[in-house]
Amino acid sequence: MFNYQHGGNLKKAIEKYGIPSEKIIDFSANINPLGFSSKIKETVTKNLNQLSHYPDPECREAREEISGYFKIDYSNIILGNGSTELIYLIVQTLKPKKALIPVPTFSEYERALSNNNVPIEFCKSEEELEFSLSINKIISQLKGIDLVFLCNPNNPTGTFLPRQELLILVKEIQRRKIFLVIDEAFIDLQEEESLIKEVKNYDYLIILRSLTKFYSLPGLRLGFTVADSKFIKKLEKQKIPWSVNCLAQLVIKDLFQDEAFIYKSKQLILQEKQFLYNELSKIQGLKVYKPSANFIFLKLLGNIFSQGLIDHLAKKGILIRDCSNFRGLEKGKFIRIAVRKHKENIKLLKELKMILTKK
C-alpha cells in the first residue's frame, strides 16, 4: 500500500463511506472553493489537440509567464509536476547529509528525505506556544545540518513567520552555507510577504510555489521552484523530462490574466476565513488556532476524538482532514478544515454544533 495519506482523497472517501461524489463537500483539501477560472476551461477545450504532442521539456512559455508575473528572472525558475515533484528533485539533487524539519508540517519533506536515506532532525514546535515557530530554536539546531525544509504559512497549523523574521534565518543559513527550502504553497493571500524575490540575494535560499491550490487545479499538477540559476541548472540535469503535461503548461497564462477571478477569490477566502474562525470559536469543545491561509487548524477538547467526528461528518457528505498522521501532533485530537463558500461553511458549522453539543 501507498504509505502516504493526505486530504482530498475523494475516491477513498467515496469507497469508504459510500456517498456519491456529487454530494461531497471537501473541506479536507485546501483548494480555492470557487473552482478554476472559466478561461481555463475555454483554453483547454480549444487546445486539446496539443495532447498529441510531447510537452516542452523546458516549459519555456510557461516559465516566461511566471517570470513576467512574479518579476523574477527566467533563469531562476523551474516547473514541476506539482511542487511535490520539486521536493523530491531538490533532495535527489542536493543529496544532503542531514536535514532539519520543523514539525508538525507537510509530510512529503520527511518522506522525500527518508526515501533517499537522509537522516532527519526535527524541530518540534510546542502546543503550549500555539505551535508557533521559533527562528532561534531552528538556528540552535543547525549544527551538522545542510538542508532545512520550512513551510510558511505552515500546513497544518496555520502559523506564519513574517518576512522580516524569516530573513534573519535566511541570512544565517547563507552565512553557514546551509540550503533552506521555504514552501510557500499557501502564501497567495499575502503575496507581499513572499521571499520569492530574495533568491537573487541569497544563493542558499530555495522557494517552492504551488499553482494548484489558490488556482484550484490540483488535478492538473503544477508547481514551481525559484532559486539561484546555477542551482536551477543542477535541478534541470536531474529532472525527468516531460513531467509537466502540456495542458498544465498551457493554462499558466490564463491563471495570471484573470484578475477578476483572483480578486473575487481573495475576497471570498479572506471573508469566509474570518467568518469560520469566529463561528468555530463559539463552539464548545473546539480550540481554534488563528489561521493565516485558506484553512483552519483545530483541536478537539475533552472526550471528543477525530475519527468519530470524521466518520459522522463523512456520512453527511462533509470531508475534513484528520491530522493524526502529522508527526508532532497528539493522535486523534487535531483536525484541519479548508475555507469554503459561505453556504458550505454554514452547513459544516451546523453539523459540528450538533455533534459537539450532543456529547
Letter for the amino acid at 259? E
Say if strands 286-288 and 321-322 run parallel, antiparallel, or are unpaired.
unpaired
Residue 216 as a binder of a second copy (CB under 8 A): the answer is yes
Residue 237 as a binder of a second copy (CB under 8 A): the answer is yes
Alpha helix ranges (H) inside 177-245: 229-238
Alpha helix ranges (H) inside the chain: 10-17, 38-46, 60-70, 82-94, 108-115, 135-140, 163-176, 229-238, 246-257, 259-282, 306-315, 342-358
Which one of 30-38, 118-126, 273-281, 349-357 is the stretch in contact with a second copy (CB under 8 A)? 30-38
Write down the least CB distance from residue 234 to a second copy, Å. Answer: 11
Residue 303 as a binder of a second copy (CB under 8 A): the answer is no
Q: Identify the DSSP state of 348.
A: H
Distance, in Å, from the CA atom of 25 to the CA atom of 47, rounded to the nearest integer, reads 30
Contacts of 288 (CB under 8 A, 6+ apart): 277, 280, 281, 296, 297, 298
Distance, in Å, from the CA atom of 76 to the CA atom of 207, rounded to the nearest integer, reads 10
Write down the least CB distance from residue 238 to a second copy, Å. Answer: 5
Which one of 58-66, 130-138, 142-150, 335-343 is the stretch in contact with a second copy (CB under 8 A)? 58-66
Among 209, 221, 273, 321, binds a second copy (CB under 8 A): 221
Residue 278 as a binder of a second copy (CB under 8 A): the answer is no
Residue 174 as a binder of a second copy (CB under 8 A): the answer is no
Distance, in Å, from the CA atom of 109 to the CA atom of 100, rounded to the nearest integer, reads 10
Among 68, 74, 162, 242, binds a second copy (CB under 8 A): 242
Residue 74 as a binder of a second copy (CB under 8 A): the answer is no
Among 18, 20, 53, 343, binds a second copy (CB under 8 A): 53
Residue 248 as a binder of a second copy (CB under 8 A): the answer is yes
DSSP per residue over 137-186, as a string?
HHHHT-TT--EEEEESSPTTT-----HHHHHHHHHHHHHHT-EEEEE-TT
Peptide bond into 33 cis (omega under 30): no
End-to-end C-alpha distance for the chain, whole angstroms: 35
Write down the least CB distance from residue 259 to a second copy, Å. Answer: 20
Among 82, 104, 156, 158, binds a second copy (CB under 8 A): 82
Query: 10 Å Cβ neighbour count for 80?
Result: 26
Nearer to a second copy, 18 or 192 (CB): 18
Among 246, 298, 300, 304, binds a second copy (CB under 8 A): 246
Write down the least CB distance from residue 242 to a second copy, Å. Answer: 6
- Footprint on residues 90-119 left by a second copy (CB under 8 A): 92, 108, 112, 115
Residue 158 as a binder of a second copy (CB under 8 A): the answer is no
Among 142, 181, 206, 217, binds a second copy (CB under 8 A): 217
Nearer to a second copy, 10 or 167 (CB): 10
Distance, in Å, from the CA atom of 9 to the CA atom of 244, rounded to the nearest integer, reads 21
The site for a second copy, by CB under 8 A, has a size of: 60
Asked if residues 122 and 329 have their Cβ atoms less than 8 Å apart, the reply is no
Nearer to a second copy, 150 or 251 (CB): 251
Which one of 47-55, 177-185, 188-196, 265-273 is the stretch in contact with a second copy (CB under 8 A)? 47-55
Which residue shows C-alpha cell 456520512? 315
**Which stretches of the chain bind a second copy, using CB under 8 A?**
1-4, 6, 8-12, 26, 29, 31, 35-36, 40-41, 44-45, 48-58, 60-61, 81-82, 84-85, 88, 92, 108, 112, 115, 216-221, 233, 236-243, 245-248
